[in-house]
Structure 1
């Protein structure tokens, strides 16, 4: 069984501290009722409880919980989760994100070793490593990403590694450090269309993120590149199609598209719930534009089914290059 594990090691949650001090200054925004196709069963299977016990007993902080992922019941019931490194506090305050914002604590130097040992002990086939934004660090946390990758390679050499990184804005040389560590998949999410950036992702720059993905492939042509967006934030259909073209111009291999869900009344409201039929149409268009892999559905998230998706990516590249029969 492929397990995708994304966690934060060595950081205790602090529920008494406000999760979003900046967002609490904003007026409450209404929360639309979810349609039937977006609802999921409440978690509670025995395997879910086992995974929860592992998380609690090891004092791990998971992006599954911090970001309020709707797939937590399914993933934890399959012993899937996601490693979030560099702490549980982000230096940015994106309007869609449920991760705590503020000034992060110091980086845990033992975290890479701990993650490497955990991956080896659990016998994982594929692991996803993500992080909060660390604008306070000179390299944005790039060296820590590399150290985690090296630790996994040392302790679990057969495990494939996917990284979901920040944008490393104004951190010269940071991307090069991560790519040199040779992850199998380099993922950086655009999150939304460029017209939404000022209100949804104000600390980021759309074309910087496009260039980051393009540069990763230039540095290592063998690496798979991946990006994801949320829809339902007020974007126009033609903007999503242009975003697809921008990603293909950067030679990105894999696109994920999921429904934005408003975490709390302090966050950006859901403007629209996109129908499953519209998601299917986006998927078909994206494949026609040349992506090797597309995952588009209301509950799609970047790390959901990442191990299975990686196998599909490899097969699609082989088929494209004529090394194996199509289909």
Structure 2
């Protein structure tokens, strides 16, 4: 079978940027993909229409930048995750396929462009993410807030989910974003704490946990969400402890997906986790109190985000009714 990751560049996606900061890393062994991880290349009419809207607005999507395996299915349904503040990140995480370097100045017209695209696509739910912008005094917090407000103005019935950086050492930044009242605040832990030095060296695990906790403290009505990749060498008990850490921060929703190695210069896939193991993680996460759990090999942070938002709302209503009874 021809797979998406093998054919993305020939299906109309933008060419991948080089990664000079990863060039010194030795090539890693690439494990053969099991049958359950393979997806078809995007060829549908809906995919092409979504691609054309993104191109016309000169917008960036994490779907392309991160080489997401679900791009075909999502774009066919006109679902896209917009990546704001450029396509160059100030960090060089070992798992990520987004280019690293010195970012360009912010495009001040970008929030309105995103708002127009959301309205044009008729999205009921939209996900907005970004590169890390450690070069900015507020980490890009005000740009996030402006984008949320622009979407509200252009498409008032669209619910807004944001997937943010950690705003490490950016005092006051989180408050700016929370004040704009996104419907869902997502910040991914990405992996268990023992992997941070090799997988996510620019981040701090407990800072990210505290960030999610602070969102709930500032505005309990905002749904909080976080995700991890498995197959990076983590142990099962570490994943279960991570679930407990998220629940201690009152996080509502966890996503668990298989890590896929973008190139030989990126962190190796240490294991392909089986569908049965993902199902086990899902069952355990629900027993720990998450409102919604998405756990499967192809689960990604924004995959089925609109449907998952409706599940979040319903689950909260059910829990509140049970508490009131």
Tell me, yes or no, whether TM beats 0.5. Answer: yes
Tell me the secondary structure at the aligned position of residue 257 of structure 1: strand
Tell me the secondary structure at the aligned position of residue 22 of structure 1: helix
Alpha-carbon deviations, 1:194-239, whole Å to 9, x = none? 0000000000000000000000000001110000000000000000
Whether the aligned pair in 1 keeps the contact of 2:57 and 2:117 (CA below 8 Å) is no
Tell me the secondary structure at the aligned position of residue 163 of structure 1: strand
Whether the aligned pair in 1 keeps the contact of 2:164 and 2:187 (CA below 8 Å) is yes
Note the C-alpha offset of 1:50.
2.0
TM-score with structure 1 setting the length? 0.93
Note the C-alpha offset of 1:69.
0.3
Whether the aligned pair in 1 keeps the contact of 2:79 and 2:126 (CA below 8 Å) is no
Q: How many residues align?
A: 313
Match of 1:27 in 2: 26
Paired with 1:46 and 1:137, the residues of 2 have a C-alpha distance of: 39
Higher relative contact order (CA 8 A, sep 6+): 1
Alpha-carbon deviations, 1:278-307, whole Å to 9, x = none? 000000000000000000000000000000
Tell me the secondary structure at the aligned position of residue 20 of structure 2: coil
Q: Structure 1 residues 115, 58: CA separation in 2 closer, same or farther (over 3 Å shift)?
A: closer
Alpha-carbon deviations, 1:263-285, whole Å to 9, x = none? 00010000000000000000000
Note the C-alpha offset of 1:15.
5.4
Alpha-carbon deviations, 1:21-60, whole Å to 9, x = none? 1101111111111000000011111221222222233332
Paired with 2:215 and 2:88, the residues of 1 have a C-alpha distance of: 26
Q: Gapped runs of 5+ residues in structure 2? A: 1-12
Match of 2:226 in 1: 227
Q: Structure 1 residues 115, 324: CA separation in 2 closer, same or farther (over 3 Å shift)?
A: farther
Match of 2:170 in 1: 171
Counterpart check, 1:309 vs 2:308: yes
Higher-helix-fraction structure:
2
Match of 2:74 in 1: 75
Whether the aligned pair in 2 keeps the contact of 1:184 and 1:223 (CA below 8 Å) is yes
Paired with 2:311 and 2:322, the residues of 1 have a C-alpha distance of: 14
Q: Over aligned residues, Cα RMSD in angstroms?
A: 1.7
Bigger drift between 148-157 and 273-282 goes to 148-157
TM-score with structure 2 setting the length? 0.93
Match of 1:194 in 2: 193
Whether the aligned pair in 1 keeps the contact of 2:282 and 2:295 (CA below 8 Å) is yes
Tell me the secondary structure at the aligned position of residue 225 of structure 1: strand
Paired with 1:324 and 1:303, the residues of 2 have a C-alpha distance of: 30
Match of 2:7 in 1: none
Whether the aligned pair in 1 keeps the contact of 2:215 and 2:224 (CA below 8 Å) is yes
Paired with 1:136 and 1:118, the residues of 2 have a C-alpha distance of: 27
Paired with 1:48 and 1:297, the residues of 2 have a C-alpha distance of: 23
